[in-house]
Chains A and B, each alone.
Chain A
Amino acid sequence: MDQAVRTALADFIIEDFLFGDATRLPGDGASLTDAGVMDSTGVLELIEFLESRFGIEVAESETVPENLDSVAALVRYVSGKRAGLATSA
C-alpha cells in the first residue's frame, strides 16, 4: 500500500468527516458509508479532494463503492489512476 497516499487520505477523512477525532477512523477495509463516516455530500467532497490533491479526474462511472468506500479501496484506486496517468503521459 502506498503509505503517502494512505496518510493523505486518512488525514482528509479525519479532518473533514470526523472533525479531528482519529479514534473513529474505521479500519482500512471497512466501509465508510456503513460506518456513517461519509454520506452523499461526503462523496462529493471526497471527489473534489481526490481531484485537487492527486491531480486525477474521477469519472462518473468510477464513482462506485469499489473505488471510494474504504481507505484501502481509495489507496488502490488513486494508485491505479496515477500509474495510468504516468504510463499514458
Chain B
Amino acid sequence: MGHRPGTADYLLHGGVPTDVAVVDGAARHTYADLRLAAGRTASALAALDLPPGSRVGILGPNSVFWVAAYLAVLKLGHVAVPLPDRATAAAVRRAADLAGCAVVCADRRALRAAGSELDGGPALLTDDVVTAGPDPCWPDGAPPDPAADAVLMFTSGTTSRPRAVRITHRNLQANTESVLAYLRLRPDDRILAVLPFHYCFGASLLHTHLRAGARLVLCTSLAFPRTVVDLLEREGCTGFAGVPSTFQLLLRAGTLATRPLPSLRLIQAAGGALPAVVVDELRAAQPQAQLFVMYGQTEATARLSYLPPDRLDDKRGSIGRGIPGVELTVRHPSGRPVVPGEQGEIYARGENVSPGYLDDPGATADKFTAHGLRTGDLAVVDEDGFVYVVDRADDFIKSWGHRVSSQEVEACALRLPDLVQAAAVGVPDAAAGEAIALFVTRHPSSAVTGADVLAFCGRHLPRHMVPRSVTVVDALPLTASGKVAKAQLRAGALASAPASGAASPSAGVTASPSAGVTAGVT
C-alpha cells in the first residue's frame, strides 16, 4: 500500500451515506448515521483532553455505539481496547487495568452487569452520547504512524490466561485488504454478525464489511438459536460467520439445517477445527452458499489462511494456504521447513503479524520469533502446499505413550447425530499418563447416554484413543468468543473424577452441574 489514510477513515471510506451500515435490533443506521454517531463520540472523547495514544476501553455487546466508539478512538489517534462483555465484572476491571485504560466507552447494559466493579476506575463515556452527544467533530490532521498501536486485543485464552495483543494501524489495514482480496465482499453484502467485536474474528467482520461499504446485521445472543436463523432470513443476509460451536448449535438445536435461505451466499468458519460432519451438514443444509474454512490468530490481527470453497472435497480437512500477503511455513523443531507428510509447527509472516504482547517481553520473545509468528499449532503439509492442522500443541493428550489429538476424538463422537458438541481433554492418570475425558452436549430431544457415546467411540477408535469417561452436560463452558474453554473443562474433570465402572452423577463440570451424567469404563 502507498499512502495510508488513518484507520477510521480507511474503514469508513467506501460506505455510501444512504446505505444501511448497521442493523441494531429494530434500528437501521446508514453510513451517514454512523459517521454522525462516531463524530459525536469523538467530540465527547476529545473534550476529555487525553494525550495522544491514550488507551480507551470499549465495553458492551455489539451495537452501533460500540462501532461509533471504536471509530472515534481510532480517529483521535488513541488506542482502542475492546473489553470482554460477557466476562465477570472483576475480569472486565482486570482487563481495563491491565491495558491502562484512561477512559472506558461503556454500554449502560454492560455497566448494569458490572455493578460497582468499575467504581473508582477509569472515567466512563456512556452510549447516550450517540443520540444526545455534542456536535460531531472529525478532526483533519495527520493520521497516526502506521506502526503505532491501533487496538489492544485480548486473546481468547482457551488454554491460558488472556494477554493483550498489540495490533498496529498497518496490521489492521493489511489484514483487511488480504481478506477482501479473497472474499470479494460487495456493498450489497449483509453479514449476520453474531461474533463479538472484541474477539479478533468478530473484529475482522467489522473491518471488512465497513471497508466494503456493506451491511452488518447485529445479533448479540445465540441463546435462542431459532431466532438467529429467523434473522438471517428476515434481513436477507448474504453472509454468516461463526466458530464451530456456533454452527453445531444452529444446525442441531436451531433450524439452520432445514430453513431455505436463498440469499445466503457466503459462510465463514474459523476459530477452531470444524469437524468434517459439520462441514458436510452445513453444505447439505445450504448448498447455494460457499463455505470458507479459515484459520487465524489474534496475534495475526485475525486471518492467516483460507481454503477455497472449490477445494473442500479434494483438500478435505485442510485450512488451505496463506491468505494474500501471508507466508505460512510448517517447520520441524530444528527450524527447517518440513517435507510433505512430516509434522511440524505453523509459523507465519506478514504485515498483519502483531509486534507483540503488551508489557510482556518474555511471552513476546517466545511467540514472535526469527521465523515469524509461532502459532502453537501442529500441522502437516501436502505436496501442493495445503496445510492440515493436527491439533493445538496444548490440546494433545498423552495417552498410553501416544499423542492423541483431541480433535480426532471429538470428530468421532460427533458422527453420532444425537450430539451437538463434543470436547475432549486429558486428565492425569496413573496408568495411561493422561486419560481422555470427553464432554458432550446432545440434541434437546435426544436421550443418548454417555455409555452410548462411549460404546460408539470404542467401536470406531483405536484403544488408546477411547475416552476413559464420557459426560453428558447441558452446555460446554465457552470463552467470551464462543470457543470451548478447555482449561475449565479440565479443572472440572479433575474436581469430579467419575467412579469407574458405574454411571454416576458428576458435579462441578460446567455452569449447570446438575445435569452432568458420566459414563466410565472399567
Please indicate the chain A residues that have their CB under 8 angstroms from the CB of B474 in the complex. Answer: 41, 44-45, 48
A55 CB-CB contact with B under 8 Å = no
B415 to chain A, nearest CB (A): 23
**Cβ of B511 under 8 Å from chain A:** yes
Pick the contact of A64 from B85, B224, B249, B511 — CB < 8 Å? B224
The residue that B223 contacts in the complex, of A23, A40, A48, A61, with Cβ under 8 A, is A40
A10 on the interface (CB 8 Å rule)? no
Interface contact A41-B510, CB-CB below 8 Å: yes
Interface of B toward A, CB cutoff 8 Å: 61, 85-86, 109-110, 112-113, 115, 220-227, 249, 444-445, 474-475, 510-512, 514-515
Tell me if A38 and B61 are in contact (CB < 8 A). no
Chain A residues 27 to 70 lying within 8 A of chain B, measured CB to CB, are 33-45, 48, 60-61, 63-65, 68-69
B226 touches A63 (CB 8 A): yes
Q: Knowing that A33-B220, A36-B86, A60-B444 touch, tell me 11 more A-B residue pairs with CB under 8 angstroms.
A: A24-B112, A33-B221, A33-B223, A36-B112, A39-B86, A39-B222, A44-B512, A48-B512, A48-B514, A48-B515, A64-B226
Q: Counting CB contacts under 8 A, is A15 at the interface? A: no
Residues of A within 8 A of B61 (CB): 34, 36
- Rounded to whole angstroms, the CA-CA distance of A26 and B108 in the bound complex is 12
Q: Which residues of B contact A68 (CB under 8 A)?
A: 224
Q: Quick one: given A44-B512, A45-B512, A48-B515, are A39 and B113 in contact (CB under 8 Å)?
A: no
What is the bound-complex CA distance between A38 and B515, given in angstroms?
18
Residue of A nearest to B444 (CB): A60
Which label, helix, strand, loop or mixed, suits the secondary structure of the B interface? Answer: loop
Q: Are B115 and A41 in contact (CB under 8 A)?
A: no
Q: Which residues of A contact B510 (CB under 8 A)?
A: 41
A41 and B512 within 8 A (CB): yes
Shortest beta-carbon distance, B208 to chain A, in Å?
Answer: 26
Residue among B221, B444, B511, B512 with the highest chain A CB neighbour number at 10 A:
B221
Contact A35 B224 (CB under 8 A): no
Least distance between A71 CB and chain B CB atoms (Å): 15
Given contacts A36-B61, A60-B444, contact A24 B226 (CB under 8 A): no
Q: How far is the CA of A60 from the CA of B227 in the complex (A)?
A: 12
**Nearest chain A CB to B126's CB is how many angstroms away?**
15
Interface size on A, residues (CB 8 A): 25
| Known A45-B474, A48-B474, A48-B515; contact A40-B222, beta-carbon cutoff 8 A | yes
Contact between chains at A21 and B115 (CB < 8 Å): yes
Residues of A within 8 A of B (CB): 21, 23-24, 26, 33-45, 48, 60-61, 63-65, 68-69
Q: How far is the CB of A74 from chain B (nearest CB, A)?
A: 13
Partner of A34, one of B109, B115, B515: B109
Cα A64 to Cα B223 in complex, Å, equals: 9
B85 partner residues in chain A, CB cutoff 8 A: 36
- Which residues of chain B have C-beta atoms less than 8 A from A45's C-beta? 474, 511-512
Inter-chain contact B224/A69, CB cutoff 8 Å? yes
Q: How far is the CA of A43 from the CA of B85 in the complex (A)?
A: 18
Question: A81: shortest Cβ distance to chain B, in Å?
Answer: 17
Instruction: Determine if A24 and B115 form an interchain contact, defined as CB atoms under 8 angstroms apart.
Output: yes
Q: Is the beta-carbon distance between A35 and B109 smaller than 8 angstroms? A: yes
**Within the complex, what minimum Cβ distance (angstroms) separates B219 from chain A?**
10
Bound-state CA distance A44–B86 (Å) is 17
The residue in chain B whose Cβ has the minimal distance to the Cβ of A65 is B224
Closest-by-CB residue of A relative to B510 is A41
A26 touches B226 (CB 8 A): no
Given A34-B61, A36-B85, is A44 in contact with B113 using a C-beta cutoff of 8 Å? no
The answer on a CB contact under 8 Å between A60 and B223 is no
A-B contact pairs, 25 of them (CB 8 A): A24-B113, A24-B115, A33-B220, A34-B61, A36-B85, A36-B109, A36-B110, A36-B112, A36-B113, A39-B221, A40-B221, A40-B475, A42-B223, A43-B223, A43-B224, A44-B474, A45-B474, A48-B512, A60-B226, A60-B445, A61-B226, A63-B224, A64-B224, A64-B227, A69-B224
Partner of A44, one of B109, B115, B221, B475: B475
Question: Which residues of chain B have C-beta atoms less than 8 A from A39's C-beta?
Answer: 86, 221-223
- A62 nearest CB across to chain B (Å): 10
Q: How far is the CA of A34 from the CA of B444 in the complex (A)?
A: 24
> Residue on B with the closest CB to A43?
B223
A23 with B512: CB separation less than 8 A: no
Give chain B residues whose Cβ lies under 8 Å from the Cβ of A23. Answer: 115
Q: Taking each of A36, A60, A68, A69, which has the highest tally of chain B beta carbons within 10 Å of its own beta carbon?
A: A36
Chain A residues within an 8 Å CB radius of B115? 21, 23-24
